[in-house]
Chains A and B, each alone.
Chain A
Amino acid sequence: MSQIKVNSLASVASARSSETSSQGVGLEARSIHAWFGQKHVLSDISLDFYSGTVTALIGPSGCGKSTFIRILNRMHEFIPTAAMAGEVLLDGKDIYRSGVDVTKIRLGIGMVFQKPNPFPSMTIKENVLSGLKLAQIKINNSDELLEDCLVRAGLWSEVKDRLDQYGGTLSGGQQQRLCIARSLAVKPQVLLMDEPCSALDPGSTLRIEETIRELSENMTIVIVTHNMQQAARVSDYTGFFLSDGGPGQLIETAPTSQIFSNPKDKRTEDYVTGRFG
């Protein structure tokens, strides 16, 4: 049974990998460690994310995937006791270097969260353009940008006649695509997605996976997911995180097809074949 599953995942993944080619490193994590208070939760994670590709981070709950992805755009530091070590390089420059404008970093590295979180006090249109207002960016052709972002997020046809309704009137899946459109409006190089489909129904999930595939043509995308089928469907590379009770570690990273067909590490194989996790 598990053998069949592995094979089907691997075939999905290999079909996916052949479509794209990597275009150089977009974002690099170097020897990342993380702590909450005294608790060491991530140990020595180094990982490259290539432009034009999707990297999936998989692993059981509590292995530090979300902590890691939040380190990549400096959201980690909002947790009061949080600490980190190591470097995250965007275009070769450390985003944690002193004197850096953290708001500019987050403009370059967007994030979509687990729970759809449109701003309820804003309309659909205002939500999409909210990043410009928040970062005080002035543009002339906002209608063009609005349409472009909604089209790329796969939401345009569903909302084009009700752009002045509030964001909260949309369904969960539509809200999440609205959040993706909102992230796109500030033109990030990198898009981080922290379990973007875990609160959505299968139809919406499929719709968002299509969106991710379309977006990946000209962005670096990192997606945390609990769903191995999803990792196999959308990603080019996969990183497997695991915690053996201590801090989370990156066990293995490889092209997605390889992770699902021929993983090097026994623990990766156990996880992707569903023997635990």
Chain B
Amino acid sequence: MSITENPASTHVPKPREITTEPRFSDRVFRGVVSSGGFISLIVLGLISLFLLYNGFGVFRSEGLSFVTSFDWVPESIENGTEASYGIGAMLYGTLVISFIGLFFGFPLAFGTALFLSYYAPEWIKKPMVLVVDIMAAIPSIVFGVWGYFILMPHAEEWARLINKYLGFIPIFSMPGDFFTRSPFIAGLVLAIMIIPIITSISREVFAQTPLDRIQAAYALGATRWSMIRAVVIPYGKGGVIGGAMLGLGRALGETVAVYTVLNLVYDIRPEILLSAGGSVASLIVNKFGEANAPELKALMAAGFVLFVVTLLVNLIANMIINRTVRKG
């Protein structure tokens, strides 16, 4: 009140510029962490540039058909064939096995996370969290070998059963009797491999559920399950979806394990139980050893496409996770 009466204050001052001088130790620490951050960005950028640079020729000569056509024929003087590269079937196969992996892995991981967060007694919780986290550290070739020798004999029988009872659905039909090394089995191996990441991210978001909302639900006579449905799942939904997308990202890029349990065929087949599938990453590991120089460039181009697809999936995942965190 006194301010408005004061004639001296009738002119409106300009906003002051507020600066702070960080102390030396702050500047050093800031330098260390920002260089760490920038280096990882630079490395990522260089990798994609390297792949793009090497694959550019292939992109130019093949055009869009590089991602739509199914042939992978290197140039051969003896046979007189001209080079033709297309990863359409592989790209499709990658998506198919990744979604099969997600289909089986996501419910398992989601259930595991709920169990660990709200049902598991303390004595089982700690060792189980440890085991699930260790699963993420197992080399993927081990999953491949396990999938080939242990899982496949069983999964083959499951596939036969699915075919027997659900064979009228086109994707479960079977033109012959080739049940091994199918997208179905590769998907099962991927499911196991993506469980840890989805579980730990889901657990993380479930743990952040505000306690006051949980208590509000219980105080209204909620059972544990109705509380989870009304409070925990709505709160954690975005984070869980983000976790699933990160799992999908891992499945898309998985190489060796898939290569061990999947028969690569340069064709798009709708039957997921049939021993014929595709995977861009497995294609690369399959051809890399004996590729001639132009084919190597085509493999780099394939790698670039996979890189872009995986990056997109991860970006979407991050967007979803960030949105949830801000909401909470």
Binding site for B on A (CB under 8 A): 73, 75, 78, 103-104, 106-107, 110-111, 113, 115, 117-122, 130-131, 133-136, 179, 182-183, 186
Task: Mark contacts of B207-241 with chain A using CB atoms, 8 A cut-off: 1 yes-contact digit, 0 otherwise.
Answer: 00010110111111111001100110011000000
Cβ–Cβ < 8 Å partners of B218 in chain A: 75, 78, 106
Given contacts A78-B215, A119-B216, contact A135 B226 (CB under 8 A): yes
Contact B220 A182 (CB under 8 A): yes
Contact A134 B220 (CB under 8 A): yes
Q: Given the complex of chains A and B, what is the CA–CA distance between A134 and B220 in angstroms?
A: 7
Question: Distance in Å from the Cβ of B134 to the closest Cβ of chain A?
Answer: 26
Question: Distance in Å from the Cβ of A130 to the closest Cβ of chain B?
Answer: 6
Contact A134 B213 (CB under 8 A): no
Contact for B220 among A120, A121, A186, CB less than 8 A: A186
Contact A103 B235 (CB under 8 A): no
Q: Given the complex of chains A and B, what is the CA–CA distance between A131 and B226 in angstroms?
A: 10
Contact A106 B230 (CB under 8 A): no
Q: Nearest B residue to A104 by beta-carbon distance?
A: B221
Contact B235 A113 (CB under 8 A): no
Contact B215 A110 (CB under 8 A): no
Q: 19 A–B contact pairs at CB < 8 A?
A: A78-B218, A106-B220, A107-B221, A110-B219, A111-B219, A113-B215, A113-B216, A117-B210, A117-B213, A118-B216, A120-B213, A121-B234, A122-B230, A130-B230, A134-B227, A134-B230, A135-B226, A183-B219, A186-B221
Q: Given the complex of chains A and B, what is the CA–CA distance between A118 and B235 in angstroms?
A: 13
Binding site for A on B (CB under 8 A): 210, 212-213, 215-223, 226-227, 230-231, 234-235
Q: Given the complex of chains A and B, what is the CA–CA distance between A110 and B210 in angstroms?
A: 19
Q: Given the complex of chains A and B, what is the CA–CA distance between A75 and B212 in angstroms?
A: 11
Question: Distance in Å from the Cβ of B110 to the closest Cβ of chain A?
Answer: 18
Contact B220 A130 (CB under 8 A): yes
Q: Nearest A residue to B231 by beta-carbon distance?
A: A119
Question: Distance in Å from the Cβ of B229 to the closest Cβ of chain A?
Answer: 9
Q: Given the complex of chains A and B, what is the CA–CA distance between A103 and B222 in angstroms?
A: 6
Cβ–Cβ < 8 Å partners of B226 in chain A: 133-136
Contact A121 B235 (CB under 8 A): yes
Cβ–Cβ < 8 Å partners of A130 in chain B: 217, 220, 230
Contact B230 A133 (CB under 8 A): yes
Question: Distance in Å from the Cβ of A166 to the closest Cβ of chain B?
Answer: 12
Cβ–Cβ < 8 Å partners of A113 in chain B: 212, 215-216, 219
Contact B222 A134 (CB under 8 A): yes
Q: Nearest A residue to B217 by beta-carbon distance?
A: A134
Question: Distance in Å from the Cβ of B215 to the closest Cβ of chain A?
Answer: 6
Q: Nearest B residue to A114 by beta-carbon distance?
A: B212
Most chain B CB atoms below 10 A, which of A113, A119, A183: A119
Contact A135 B220 (CB under 8 A): yes
Q: Other than the known A113-B212, A134-B226, what 10 A-B pairs have Cβ atoms closer than 8 Å?
A: A73-B219, A75-B215, A104-B221, A107-B220, A117-B213, A130-B220, A135-B222, A136-B226, A179-B216, A183-B219
Cβ–Cβ < 8 Å partners of B217 in chain A: 119, 130, 134
Q: Given the complex of chains A and B, what is the CA–CA distance between A46 and B213 in angstroms?
A: 30
Considering the complex of A and B, which 8 residue pairs feature the smallest CB-CB distances, nearest first? A107-B221, A134-B222, A131-B220, A135-B221, A121-B234, A111-B219, A117-B212, A117-B216
Q: Given the complex of chains A and B, what is the CA–CA distance between A179 and B217 in angstroms?
A: 11
Contact B221 A131 (CB under 8 A): yes
Cβ–Cβ < 8 Å partners of B221 in chain A: 103-104, 106-107, 131, 134-135, 186
Cβ–Cβ < 8 Å partners of A103 in chain B: 221-223
Cβ–Cβ < 8 Å partners of B222 in chain A: 103, 131, 134-135
Q: Given the complex of chains A and B, what is the CA–CA distance between A115 and B226 in angstroms?
A: 22
Cβ–Cβ < 8 Å partners of A110 in chain B: 219-220
Question: Distance in Å from the Cβ of B123 to the closest Cβ of chain A?
Answer: 13
Q: Nearest B residue to A109 by beta-carbon distance?
A: B219
Q: Nearest A residue to B212 by beta-carbon distance?
A: A117
Q: Given the complex of chains A and B, what is the CA–CA distance between A164 and B218 in angstroms?
A: 24
Q: Nearest B residue to A107 by beta-carbon distance?
A: B221
Cβ–Cβ < 8 Å partners of B220 in chain A: 106-107, 110, 130-131, 134-135, 182-183, 186
Cβ–Cβ < 8 Å partners of B234 in chain A: 119, 121
Question: Distance in Å from the Cβ of A233 to the closest Cβ of chain B?
Answer: 25
Cβ–Cβ < 8 Å partners of B210 in chain A: 117
Cβ–Cβ < 8 Å partners of B223 in chain A: 103, 134-136
Cβ–Cβ < 8 Å partners of A136 in chain B: 223, 226
Cβ–Cβ < 8 Å partners of A121 in chain B: 234-235
Q: Given the complex of chains A and B, what is the CA–CA distance between A131 and B227 in angstroms?
A: 10
Q: Given the complex of chains A and B, what is the CA–CA distance between A44 and B118 in angstroms?
A: 32
Q: Given the complex of chains A and B, what is the CA–CA distance between A33 and B251 in angstroms?
A: 54
Cβ–Cβ < 8 Å partners of B231 in chain A: 119
Cβ–Cβ < 8 Å partners of A182 in chain B: 216, 220
Most chain A CB atoms below 10 A, which of B221, B223, B234: B221
Q: Given the complex of chains A and B, what is the CA–CA distance between A44 and B138 in angstroms?
A: 55
Q: Given the complex of chains A and B, what is the CA–CA distance between A121 and B327 in angstroms?
A: 11
Cβ–Cβ < 8 Å partners of B227 in chain A: 134
Question: Distance in Å from the Cβ of B233 to the closest Cβ of chain A?
Answer: 9
Q: Given the complex of chains A and B, what is the CA–CA distance between A73 and B218 in angstroms?
A: 10
Cβ–Cβ < 8 Å partners of B230 in chain A: 119, 122, 130, 133-134
Most chain B CB atoms below 10 A, which of A106, A117, A182, A186: A117
Most chain A CB atoms below 10 A, which of B216, B219, B230, B231: B219
Q: Given the complex of chains A and B, what is the CA–CA distance between A252 and B215 in angstroms?
A: 30
